[in-house]
Amino acid sequence: MDAPTKSGVLGLICCAMHVSREEARGELRELNKLRMGVRVDRPGTLWQDYHTVGAKIGILRADREGKNGDGIKYTPITHEPETLITRRYYLCDASFLVALQGDWRLIAEVRNALSEPRWPVYLGRKSCPPSVPLLRGKDNEDLDAFDDLREALASRPWRPRLEGDKTPDSLDCFIEWRPKGTDRDAPPDAEVWYDVPQSFDPPVHYPRFVLRDALTARDGLVILHAQGATQRVTLPPPQPHANYENREYKDKRKERLRADHGLCVFCKCPATTVQHITYRRAGGGELPDDLRSLCRLCHDAVTMIEYGLGMGLDRINPEEPQWRERIIAKRDEIVRFRSLETRRRRLSAEEVE
């Protein structure tokens, strides 16, 4: 959906209350009495996630297909319940303001749970936890009374996430509609969202009416500009890089090659280059101990392993025994799959001819 569903918000509240899926049915009877409105501060980015569910457990299928007529599909070889593959979607880097309206005692209970959640809370994906506190405003402001949800959603200022974020002219919002007085018919533009949870285990949802709207300055919405950003852009610390044209580096390179008698420290072939085992003093301040002499094939193998592991300042020392098997395997891979020009680095002149 374009915004948090009522099922998602109430599930988050149940999590904060330390209410399990099995125990939630009773709590949901009260929580569903709350009317909900959502303001879209940042729509976020749609993220697809790959899932496998039901391995050796079994998941009921909507088509009720299954070998035993139980709605569970079994693998033909092991005859165990088959794993189902699903692709699910989440909104990343999104920001929403949610207003709940109802009995003040229930609202106070929800506020207390969200201020000190018993379980870690998230909306949609456990790997995407909230980056800011869930409750907006001070404690004595959380129970402010408003005539309607639009007024409540407009009462909190919009803040940019980063200083360079574009300032919006208006913010979309989704307001739950319920019959009021003699007004028993939903407006023609009301949408039906099947997200009112009756049970989480198994999942059962009922419909509700939702109205799309927009908030502007005329509604009392305050837009805070760059000085009100919630996060600052923190530049990473400068990372040293090798400068192969630097005179000091060239001198240290020659000194390292002499110390290793011009031989590769790994395979003892003639060394043609040196490898940084640390970049902490790279750029001209290297010490001879920061380098190791290598032939081109061993250098390529070590570098590929380092890139594959995403190593930072400190890299592989090819003299250390724990890297031996990996370097040998990578050398063999290079010899098999790279060009003849690369293979010449290892083969003798007679073999090449």
**CA torsion sign, 153 to 154 to 155 to 158?**
positive
3-state secondary structure of 204: strand
> Domain for residue 179, yes or no?
yes
> Domain for residue 34, yes or no?
yes
325 sits in which H/E element: helix 324-337
> Domain for residue 270, yes or no?
yes
Buried/exposed 108-125: b ≥16 CB within 10 Å, e otherwise: ebbbebbeeeeeebebbe
Confidence grade of residue 64 (pLDDT, cut at 50, 70, 90): low
Residue 32 sits in the same domain as residue 169: yes
The structural domain count of the chain equals 3
What percent of the chain shows pLDDT beyond 90?
47
189: domain CATH number is 3.30.70.2660
Residue 79 sits in the same domain as residue 209: no
Q: Please give the pLDDT value at position 349.
A: 47
Residue 175 sits in the same domain as residue 26: yes
Residue 190 sits in the same domain as residue 262: no
104-121 average pLDDT score: 91
Residue 257 sits in the same domain as residue 124: no
Q: Which two tokens stand for residue 279?
A: 């970049």
> Domain for residue 236, yes or no?
no
Which of the listed residues 197, 228, 259 is the one where a domain comes to its end?
Answer: 228
Top-confidence residue, 6 or 62: 6
Residue 107 sits in the same domain as residue 196: yes
Rounded distance, CA 350 to CA 353, Å? 5
Residue 195 sits in the same domain as residue 295: no
Q: Please give the pLDDT value at position 351.
A: 43
- The closest alpha carbon to 90, from 143, 61, 129, belongs to 129
Degrees to nearest 5, angle at CA 110 with 219 and 202: 110
Residue 218 sits in the same domain as residue 120: yes
Q: Please give the pLDDT value at position 232.
A: 73
Top-confidence residue, 85 or 148: 148
- The closest alpha carbon to 225, from 161, 172, 154, belongs to 161
Which of the listed residues 228, 263, 278 is the one where a domain comes to its end?
Answer: 228
> Domain for residue 242, yes or no?
no
> Domain for residue 82, yes or no?
yes
Q: Is the pTM of this model over 0.85?
A: no
Residue 37 sits in the same domain as residue 160: yes
Top-confidence residue, 62 or 210: 210
- The closest alpha carbon to 215, from 165, 188, 179, 175, belongs to 175
β-pair type (45-53, 84-92): antiparallel
Confidence grade of residue 59 (pLDDT, cut at 50, 70, 90): low
Residue 157 structural domain = 6-44+93-228
> Domain for residue 161, yes or no?
yes
Residue 134 sits in the same domain as residue 54: no
> Domain for residue 239, yes or no?
no
Residue 218 sits in the same domain as residue 202: yes
Residue 99 sits in the same domain as residue 190: yes
